[in-house]
Amino acid sequence: MISKKQIGVLLILLFTICSNTFAQSGHKNLLAGDKFYRSGDYQLAEENYRKAREQERELKSTFNLGNTVYNQERYEEAIDHYTAATQLAPDNTKRSDAFYNLGNSLVKNGNLEESIDAYKEAIQLNSNNEEAKYNLLVAKRALRDAQQQEQQQQQQDGQEGENQDQQDQQEQEQEQQDQQEQKQEQQDQQDQQEQEEKQDSLNQNPPSQSGGEFDTSRLDKQMLDSLDAMKLLQVMDNEEKKVQEKMKKFNSKRKKPDKDW
């Protein structure tokens, strides 16, 4: 009969064997992933790195899984894997590399401010990380250019909005003016029509002296116009006579010119 002590020893041996087998399988997946990654087959590399990561969550499988999805332009997922790699790294140099790749993924994803923080962390962990220093300068310049472009766009949008407001105001004023002119034209036409109707009524039904209302103001105005015209003709006739008399006097006093021999 097997004792409890012997059973415990057997369980330990079985666990050790399984662990070694599991580790060997994970290592094989890592090697296969590296092989496919070097050949550029990132999908098969991703499959093997995921299998290795399922068997043992460690830095290399996590870091390289980030590389495969990065090369497939899945930058948000790469950010997650590189962030996990920064926590699994056993030393500052490897953590610096993880932060460097994290910064690259953030740049590709459009997170410039966060990428600057990642590059700074990579440099702080490893002052010899020249790639991180270079990319830090590039990210800062890109962020500055983006901010300037955004500011210029806002100014341009504001100017266009102001111009549009002015144009709308001018159009509104012109519309109001057109409406006023249209109303005035309609009023003038109405007044003219009323005048014509009134004149037609007078022509068809002239007022009698024995009865009915008589438009004395209209008759007086016509009479005044006729009298003014007669006075104007008389003044013009008198002025013409004066001019003719002056011309006669001038010609009579003028000397005859000498002969041209």
**How do residues 236-248 score in pLDDT, each as one tens digit?**
677 777 767 767 7
Residue 62's pLDDT is what?
93
DSSP sequence for 2-29:
--HHHHHHHHHHHHHHHHHHHHHHHHHH
Residue 184's pLDDT is what?
81
Burial 1-31 (b: 16+ CB within 10 A, else e): eeeeeeeeeeeeeeeeeeeeeeeeebeebbe
Residue 189's pLDDT is what?
75
Residue 182's pLDDT is what?
82
Residue 210's pLDDT is what?
39
Give the separation between CA 248 and CA 239, rounded to whole angstroms.
15
Q: Which residues of the chain have pLDDT under 70?
A: 1-25, 191, 194-233, 235-236, 243, 246, 249-261
Residue 179's pLDDT is what?
86
- Please count the helices (runs of H) and the strands (runs of E) in the chain: 8, 0
Give the separation between CA 232 and CA 240, rounded to whole angstroms.
12
| pTM recorded for the entire structure | 0.54
